[in-house]
Amino acid sequence: MILTLTANPSVDRTVTLTGPLQRGAVLRAASMTSQAGGKGVNISRAAVAAGIPTVAVLPADGADPFVAELRAAGIDCRPQPPAGDVRVNLTLTEPDGTTTKVNSAGAAVERAHLDQLADAVVALAAEATWVVLAGSLPPGAPADWYAGLVVRLRATAARVAVDTSGAALLALAAALPAAAPDLMKPNGEELATIVGADPLALEADPAEAARAARVLVDRGVGAVLVTLGPAGGVLVTADGAWHAPAPPTTVVSTVGAGDSSLFGYLLATERDAAPDMALRWAVAYGSAAAGLPGTGIPRPGDVDAAAVTATALRPPALT
């Protein structure tokens, strides 16, 4: 079972524009969608679609339509007391796939809210193969909250994956190796903020991305999956590094692509796949998501791992 925590869930509203985004202009929408979302929620959606048991923990009122939507989608949702209404995130998508996001902060939490979330996750971890801590932290949460939760989860049998950004990501990196998860999934820009590298250099050169990811592995992280957009992805473990380019894809929306990549990796590990195959599934899932509108979550039939190749990077990339 894949257990997901979305500490700062959102209603994701996507507006698909008929033309390029023009600041200050009156624009027309080709379509508009709204979906209960957040990184952990997206991963649970993908798990349901793939027939993998999942439980989603998040702060929301049990009677909130947000929770009702998730349960209607087949997600076992375990809402915890919220600090306020679920936030709304807005995405503007242009015809060429260019995406502009406007994310709201969310309701400010108190320590009691965070303690209830953490206790719920730790209690359910006994039943999980993976626990995924995903997304931003809500206002009021200390930056090292994920790091502290990873320490608690390391005492369970579940493997722990973390996908976050900003201050929460930097705090987790600062807490290594005590708070080292089994998997971290930064994109090129996020990885660059940790190691002090040029994000454009990492996104342009898989070997550079592997070198940067190796810093985290050397500090105790089990594996680092770096998503690089059109350049595909890089996976680094203590045993090696691999790069998989993205297959040709007509990009419709990149929202949710990173979440789908993470799920592809988790799905492969649930099937005991080798690291290079897990990377292929990650890139295949992410590419499939980029070809879907809105916060598109691929179904297994949308994903073609056979179209993705993974190549081992030579040892110099890890020094």
Tell me the catalytic residues: 259
Q: What is the DSSP string of the chain?
A: -EEEEESS-EEEEEEEESS---TTS---EEEEEEEEE-HHHHHHHHHHHHT--EEEEEE--TTSHHHHHHHHTT-EEEEE--SSSPEEEEEEE-TTS-EEEEE---PPP-HHHHHHHHHHHHHHGGG-SEEEEESPPPTTS-TTHHHHHHHHHTTSSSEEEEE--HHHHHHHHHTTTTT--SEE--BHHHHHHHHT--HHHHHH-HHHHHHHHHHHHHTT-SEEEEE-GGG-EEEEETTEEEEEPPPP---S--TTHHHHHHHHHHHHHHTT--HHHHHHHHHHHHHHHHTSSSS----GGG--GGG---EEPPGGGG-
